Amino acid sequence: MMEVREEIDIQRRPSAGAMLQLIRHGHATTRADLAEQTGFGRSTVAQHVTALLAHKLLVEDAGPSSGGRPVTLLTFNTSAGVALAADLGATHSRVAVSDLAGSVLAETTADLEITLGPDEVLEWVNDRFEELLARAGRRPDEVRGIGIGVPGPIDFAAGCAVVPPIMPGWDGVPLPAYFADRYDAPVLVDNDVNIMALGEYFTNWRDRTEHLLFVKVGTGIGCGIVAGGRIYRGADGAAGDVGHIRVASDREVVCSCGNVNCLEAIAGGQAMARQLAEAGHHAEVSRDVVQLVRQGNVQAVQVVRQAGRVLGEVLASLVNFFNPAAIIIGGDVADADEQLLAGVREVIYSRSLPLATRHLRIARSALEDRAGVTGAAVLAIESALAPAVIDRAIADQAASA
Amino acid sequence: MMEVREEIDIQRRPSAGAMLQLIRHGHATTRADLAEQTGFGRSTVAQHVTALLAHKLLVEDAGPSSGGRPVTLLTFNTSAGVALAADLGATHSRVAVSDLAGSVLAETTADLEITLGPDEVLEWVNDRFEELLARAGRRPDEVRGIGIGVPGPIDFAAGCAVVPPIMPGWDGVPLPAYFADRYDAPVLVDNDVNIMALGEYFTNWRDRTEHLLFVKVGTGIGCGIVAGGRIYRGADGAAGDVGHIRVASDREVVCSCGNVNCLEAIAGGQAMARQLAEAGHHAEVSRDVVQLVRQGNVQAVQVVRQAGRVLGEVLASLVNFFNPAAIIIGGDVADADEQLLAGVREVIYSRSLPLATRHLRIARSALEDRAGVTGAAVLAIESALAPAVIDRAIADQAASA
């Protein structure tokens, strides 16, 4: 239970790892800041800062002198290692090497069918990791963490997909094992929408709120939930599966899940493409829908606008329930076009309660198609730089010295 | 931001308050347990236990000897003070004195209109507190915390209601001030559904899950959210306001909020009563509906069952989104009857995704009409016995000794 973990955490000794967090997240820039924020004495703080400097996790620079003694500014050394990140989609994947701030140093994308199965796909990922490391001029032993996003439900603790509908052959296969003999680094696995939410939250929203929703509108529709500054996964890791929420519709549409009138069967990218194809337009996948909208096709604009309204109905309910500070819309359809967002906004502001929309921001993903790979990198970095991990690394080196 | 607070918490020194939490919540019963769970040495643990014993927060008893040395069992002293709790409803209130486990020692209820305003209502609450303390044989200086639930949105930090629709005169009035000169204890204010969720969670679910929903079906419909073992309030404190989620309906019903076909306008207790009154039955308020069901009135059974199905549609969506381990249904209508739950179950299990309902429990509130007052007591107790508060009290006494 979370409470219990916190109770136990609360009793830890002064921690270099915790001080690193304060600096990384911009809450402290000097030894004096650290002393003030932690309540520990300057000599204790100085000792931990020295350890972090020795591990090259911090760098120090002379700051602007304010007339009196010069102040030394402490900065997180984002070059003290790299993260490997992969955002695996149903038919398209993106792989990157990032620094420890999550900024991409080298990346590549490819059309790749997830249905090829884990052996073939992860071999490809491994090859790309090697290539990208070389291109970025970094060594494998500089890798501090690996983050992988997959398009299906996952068991976060085990690092595997769980009965994923569009990933035959992946069920229960632990992904960390594929990387264990090549890198001495933690491997974290999450679903594609959660990593997009994490990427967007850490890059653009962390200083403004603790609670937001990231909605991905691609072939289907999914939602990543940030609550209390963390990804919320629910009791079985199934939270955020909004694509199968039933919506009102004048026609009955059977969804791939077997139920009728699920949100994604009415308003997903595939559903939009089908509607336009039925009307005689060339539209097979969600990107075709966006293409038609860009060409000024009136029917395509109407379809996307109406899908936005249907999505808005569901999100209006979730705004009343969850009261997020922001809803970020991403995925193929949203990345390319404002029409979807217009429909969403229209319904949310007319349907949700005033108290819950007073400060609500509804925005397109700023990271666009890099949200996932950025989030996968952040997932890896946050795990690799967790206070307990840093403290252990420092203690181990002190013991072996 | 929560992360930041945790980063700072993580650096605290060994804490008697944190050890008390471990014992209170059943995670430790001996000094050896405490040493194992905190990672601190036996002498450090012994010193903090001695302080907790001196403050009468713990008691020790010789446990069963296992052949070797006798083991001393440490138990939380639930008599080391009392909590005062008030669950204020629109027309009915309950006030109680509880021990530090949240068990009610003395209580009273009354029909009381919240519209009388804060002066009159809180004077009444104060009088009841005095009476009940006397009846329980406890002194005012034994009061460690006061918890108040009110039927409207609140600003938790300020302890006041915020533009509450059914509480004229209460907007922005800080309730703690009414009790400050009588009791030297923290006063916590929350809305009625949140305290019910808290009462049910702490009493019956805390050892089984971190994530649950408590749905109150009374005159209206509201929801308390427990996420990560805590009440989730959202960005503006408005989370859980599910009564105004739009539902599908063949007729158009205008809600008190101005929108049409809100959940509570279709399936709330008041809406059910109106439907039955229109059909010629005597039904003014939600309790009349329950009375008719108990008398075997077929139409009333149908109305309640159908309301359960409508509620189930909304909850099925929230199960997909939030993936709770349990949904607890309470409030006037649910407390008295299984028909509502039957409708809810029927729809949730047919509509929600298998992964999200695999382990889902749907149950009636076990505390029934005491859920609120129990939660108000728990709110006060958790605040009064927070590790930092206990540590400060021990340090203060040590300094003045």
- Residues A229 and B311: their CA atoms lie apart, in Å, by 30
Contact A10 B13 (CB under 8 A): no
Among candidates B4, B229, B360 on the partner chain, residue whose Cβ is nearest the Cβ of A2: B229
Contacts of A325 in chain B (CB under 8 A): 235
Closest of A215, A226, A234, A237 to residue A154, by C-alpha: A237
Q: Which amino acid is at A155?
A: D
- Looking at residue B65, its pLDDT comes to 63
| Average pLDDT score over residue span A15-29 | 91
What ipTM, to 2 d.p.? 0.90
Residues of B in contact with A1 (CB under 8 A): 206-207, 210, 229
CB of B92 closer than 8 Å to CB of B144: no
Q: Do B11 and A40 touch (CB under 8 A)?
A: yes
CB contact under 8 Å between A228 and B358, yes or no, is no
User: Mind telling me how many Å the CA of B333 is from chain A's nearest CA?
Assistant: 21
Q: CA of A235, closest CA in chain B: separation in Å? A: 5
Mutate to test the interface with A, among B24, B210, B245 (most CBs of A within 10 A): B245
**Which residue(s) pair with B154 in the sheet?**
B161
3-class DSSP state of A223:
strand
For the cut 50, the answer to whether the pLDDT of residue A3 exceeds it is no
Strands annotated E in A192-336 = 212-217, 221-227, 230-231, 326-330
**pLDDT tops 50 at residue A8:** no
Picking from B38, B234, B313, the nearest residue to A324 by CB comes out as: B234
Three-class SS of residue A216?
Answer: strand
* pLDDT tens, position by position, A142-187: 999 999 999 988 999 999 998 888 899 999 999 999 998 899 999 9
Give the Cα separation of B329 and B382 in Å (integer). 24
DSSP letter, residue A224: E
Cα A205 from Cα A194, distance rounded (Å):
15
Interchain contact, B246 vs A351, CB within 8 Å:
yes
What is the SS3 assignment for B216-260? Answer: EECCCEEEEEEECCEECCCCCCCCCCHHHCECCCCCCCECCCCCE
Structure tokens at A193: 């929408």
User: Model confidence at A108, in pLDDT bands (50, 70, 90)?
Assistant: very high
Q: Which residue of B has its CA nearest to A155?
A: B355
Which residue does chain A place closest to B4, by CA atoms? A22
Provide the shortest C-alpha distance from residue B1 to chain A (in Å): 7
Q: Render A154-209 in DSSP notation, one character per residue.
A: EETTTTEE-S-TT-TT-BT--TTHHHHTT-SS-EEEEEHHHHHHHHHIIIIITTT-
Q: What is the average pLDDT across A49-54?
A: 95
Segment among A53-62, A66-75, B361-370 with least mean pLDDT? A66-75
| A10 Cβ contact partners less than 8 Å away, ≥ 6 residues apart | B9, B10, B12, B15, B18, B387
- Per-residue tokens: A29: 């820039």
C-beta of residue B203 within 8 angstroms of C-beta of residue B367:
yes
Neighbours of A286 (CB within 10 A): 22
pLDDT-derived band of residue A395, with 50, 70 and 90 as boundaries? confident
pLDDT class of A38 with cuts at 50, 70, 90: confident
**SS3 state of residue A217:** strand
Strands B221-227 and B361-364: unpaired
> Which helix (H) or strand (E) covers residue A264, if one does?
helix A263-267
Q: Which of B6, B259, B359 sits opposite A351 (nearest CB)?
A: B259
Model pLDDT, residue B14: 67
pLDDT tens string A288-327:
999 999 999 999 999 999 999 999 999 999 999 999 999 9
Q: Rounded distance, CA A372 to CA B300, Å?
A: 51
Kindly identify which residue of chain A lies nearest to residue B8, measuring between CA atoms.
A38
In angstroms, rounded to a whole number, what is the distance separating the alpha carbons of residues A59 and A74? Answer: 6
Residues of A in contact with B22 (CB under 8 A): 4, 7-8
Residue of B nearest to A350 (CA): B259
Closest Cα of chain B to A306: distance in Å? 18
First-to-last C-alpha distance (Å) of chain A: 37
Model pLDDT, residue A10: 40
- pLDDT level of residue A188 (50, 70, 90 thresholds): very high
SS3 annotation, chain B: CHHHHHHHHCCCCCCHHHHHHHHHCCCCCCHHHHHHHHCCCHHHHHHHHHHHHHCCCEEEEECCCCCCCCCEEEEECCCCCEEEEEEECCCEEEEEEECCCCCEEEEEEEECCHHHCHHHHHHHHHHHHHHHHHHHCCCHHHEEEEEEEECCCEECCCCEECCCCCCCCCECCCCCHHHHCCCCCCEEEEEHHHHHHHHHHHHHHCCCCCCEEEEEECCCEEEEEEECCEECCCCCCCCCCHHHCECCCCCCCECCCCCECEHHHHHCHHHHHHHHHHCCCCCCCHHHHHHHHHCCCHHHHHHHHHHHHHHHHHHHHHHHHHCCCEEEEECHHHHHCCHHHHHHHHHHHHHCCHHHHCCCEEEECCCHHHHHHHHHHHHHHHHHCCHHHHHHHHHHHHHHC
Say which of B27, B223, B320 has its CB closest to residue A242.
B320
Cβ–Cβ below 8 Å for A7 and B22: yes
DSSP state of A10: T
**B234·A322 Cβ contact <8 A:** yes
pLDDT at res. B378: 97
Q: Residue A353 and residue B238: Cβ atoms within 8 Å?
A: yes
Say if strands B361-364 and B326-330 run parallel, antiparallel, or are unpaired: parallel
Amino acid A22: pLDDT: 92
**pLDDT at res. B203:** 93
Across chain A, which distance is largest between two alpha carbons, in Å?
76
Low-confidence ranges of chain B (pLDDT < 70): 1-14, 64-69, 336, 401
pLDDT reported for residue B13: 58
How far apart are alpha carbons B192 and A357 in whole angstroms? 22
Query: What CA–CA distances, in Å, run from A369 to A124, A164, A167, A199, A330?
Result: 20, 22, 21, 11, 8
Alpha-carbon gap, residue B103 to B96, rounded angstroms: 10
Measured between CB atoms, which of B12, B210, B351 is closest to A11? B12
Per-residue confidence (pLDDT) for residue B7, from 0 to 100: 36
- Predicted local confidence at residue B6, as pLDDT: 38
Instruction: Please list every residue in chain A whose beta carbon sits closer than 8 Å to the beta carbon of residue B246.
Output: 313, 316-317, 351
What is the pLDDT confidence band of residue A362, given thresholds at 50, 70 and 90?
A: very high
Q: Tokens 């509108």 map to which residue?
A: A217
Q: CB A244 to CB B320 under 8 A?
A: yes
The per-residue pLDDT for range B206-239, each reduced to its tens digit, is 999 999 999 999 888 999 999 999 999 999 999 9
**pLDDT score at B258:** 87
Q: Residues for chain B: how many in total?
A: 401
pLDDT of residue A352: 85
The verdict on a CB contact (< 8 Å) between A223 and B321 is: yes
Measure B2 CA to nearest chain A CA, in Å. Answer: 6
Q: What is the pTM assigned to this prediction?
A: 0.90
Residue A384 confidence (pLDDT) above 50: yes
Minimal CA–CA distance to B167: which of B125, B107, B120? B120
Q: Which residue of B has its CA nearest to A320?
A: B241
Distance from CA of A7 to the nearest CA of B (A): 6
